[in-house]
Structure 1
Amino acid sequence: MSDPRRADRLDALRGAAIVWMVAYHFAFDLNHLRWLAPPQDFYRDPFWTWQRTAIVSLFLLCAGMGQALAAAGGQGWPRFWRRWAQVAGCALAVSAGSALMFPRSWISFGVLHGMALMLLLVRCAGALAPGRTAWLWPAGALALLLPHGLGFAALDNRLGNWLGLVTRKPITEDWVPVLPWLGVMLWGLAAGHWLRARRPPWLLGAAPGWSRPLRWLGQRPLTVYMLHQPLLLGALMLAGMARR
């Protein structure tokens, strides 16, 4: 039985993003352990960089649509803060873990850090203008375009690059700054409100039976995100020891 408080189709879409993310990170780990031939450049090769962009975009779109449904369902601030604290706490754990594994390129503002701040901004924006959603589309476009026209050398450091208005990308394993990514979440929020009002079956209709595994994953995104890399790396290292 599906949870009546959830949108099965949104869970399935989020689950698809999770599968893609795990596959991407599996390839990344193989390359990190020098098991891929020829070696891949995950930082500059468009084949990999565009995949990363698409995966992050899909997660943020789902997060925006989830916020639209939460607002429509009357989600209170206490429940929001509980979930937000989980995301923020996991972001700190990612920073600590990455500092141990990648001391020169540790993650100071990755996808969870960005999502924590953007969820707060989106929630506040919805509270300031309840029921008004048309402005979300141009606001999202502006957020997407701003980093292409503005950049400040003073922000080219870990204290300032979270905003996204930099002149060069930081050396880090993951970087999801507020700009331009807030624009994607705002578009997800706008799309969620539009679908709920104009095409409710597209978002709230029953999901096909074959999507059940995706829905299961989509209901546990934070757990899967935190566990998949340690499990993947651990399994690959054990495989490497067995080979030797």
Structure 2
Amino acid sequence: MRIIALDIARTIAIVLMVIFHFCYDLKMFSYVDWDVPDGRGWQEFRWAIVTLFFLCLGVSLSLAYSVAINWRKFSIRTGQIALSAAAISIGSYYAVPKNWIFFGVLHFLALSCILGIAFVRFPKLSVLLGFIVMGVGMLELLPSRWPFYLFFDNLPSYTNDYVAFFPWFGMVLLGIGLGSTDWLKNDPFERLKEHPKLHKPLTLIAWPGQHSLSIYLLHQPILVGILYLASQFI
């Protein structure tokens, strides 16, 4: 059973992500001079996007596995994310070797699935640890590149996508706690979907959130392709 509220939250994250990457691509093709992704406002924009994604991951883990863990289903889904992350690392290494992605969003999601599954039956502990993990990151008690700097000395000084374990895994843990609440389990959008005039719009809005991984992988090649073609005629 799908939770419409969760799918809609993912859809919002996806729409914001596409907007963010489109702005980044406009800069890459020199259509604009915006300081994407590191300028004032753009970092906060990215934080809002990943916050939604990581909360949704924690909620998904809780809703799907808090009662019983289907290890086959879990392994297939986590494997898909991990293979996608590996493909992005390989592709970025050849495309932009000086800034290749060694631990981006998908790498983080795969690791968070593996670690987060241990907490799905302990939502209160998950919330407590979530705040601790976030505190460690926000207070900079550990370097942002922990633990990679301990094992590798040849990673790029700047990477096109990086997610620090601290504080972001804390957001996943908070999502696990949120997913255990009756308010979310009962799905606040379910009654709205029963309304004949709202059923189709809600279904359409939720659709991107149900295919988030595919959209994540495909949207950038499509955007870059469109802008490249446009650059040939402008």
Deviations 1:78-103 (A, max 9, x none): 11000000000000011112122221
Match of 1:23 in 2: 19
Distance 1:13 1:7 in 2: 10
- In structure 1, runs of 5+ residues without a counterpart are 162-168
Amino acid aligned to 2:177:
A
Partner residue in 2 for 1:165? none
Give the whole-Å Cα distance in 2 for the aligned partners of 1:216 and 1:26: 21
Measure how far apart 1:205 and its partner are. 5.0
Structure-1-length-normalised TM-score: 0.84
**Structure 2 contact 119–125 (Cα < 8 Å) conserved:** no
User: Amino acid of the residue matched to residue 226 of structure 2?
Assistant: A
Please name the residue that 2:159 is paired with: 172
Partner of 1:12: 8
Q: Is the aligned partner of 1:98 residue 2:54?
A: no
1:238 counterpart residue number: 229
* Correspondence for 1:125 among 119, 122, 146: 119
CA deviation digits over 1:123-171, x for unaligned, max 9? Answer: 0233xxx3x321222210111111324235995856658xxxxxxx951
What amino acid is aligned across from residue 183 of structure 1 in structure 2? G
Structure 2 unmatched runs, 5+: none
Counterparts of 1:116-155 in structure 2, within 5 Å, are 116-126=110-120, 130=121, 132-147=122-137, 148-151=139-142, 155=146
After superposition, the Cα gap between the structure-2 partners of 1:137 and 1:154, relative to the gap in structure 1 and judged at 3 Å, is closer
- Change beyond 3 A, Cα 1:6–1:156: closer
Bigger drift between 42-51 and 58-67 goes to 42-51
Give yes or no for the alignment of 1:184 onto 2:180: no
**In structure 1, distance between residues paired with 2:146 and 2:76:** 31
What letter is aligned with 2:99? Answer: S
Q: In structure 1, what is the Cα distance between the partners aligned to 2:230 and 2:25?
A: 13
Residue type matched to 1:202 in 2? P
- Judging changes above 3 Å, is the alpha-carbon distance between structure 1 residues 16 and 33 closer, same or farther for their aligned structure 2 residues? same
In 2, the alpha carbon distance for the partners of 1:25 and 1:64 equals: 24
Distance 1:235 1:43, change over 3 A: closer
**Size of the alignment, in residue pairs?**
225
After TM superposition, the structure 1 stretch with the greater mean CA deviation from structure 2, 202-211 or 150-159, is 150-159
Residue aligning to 2:186? 200
Structure 2 length as normaliser, TM-score? 0.87
Q: CA deviation at 1:216?
A: 0.8
Report the secondary structure of 2:224's partner residue: helix
How big is the alpha-carbon RMSD for the aligned residues of Structure 1 and Structure 2? 2.4
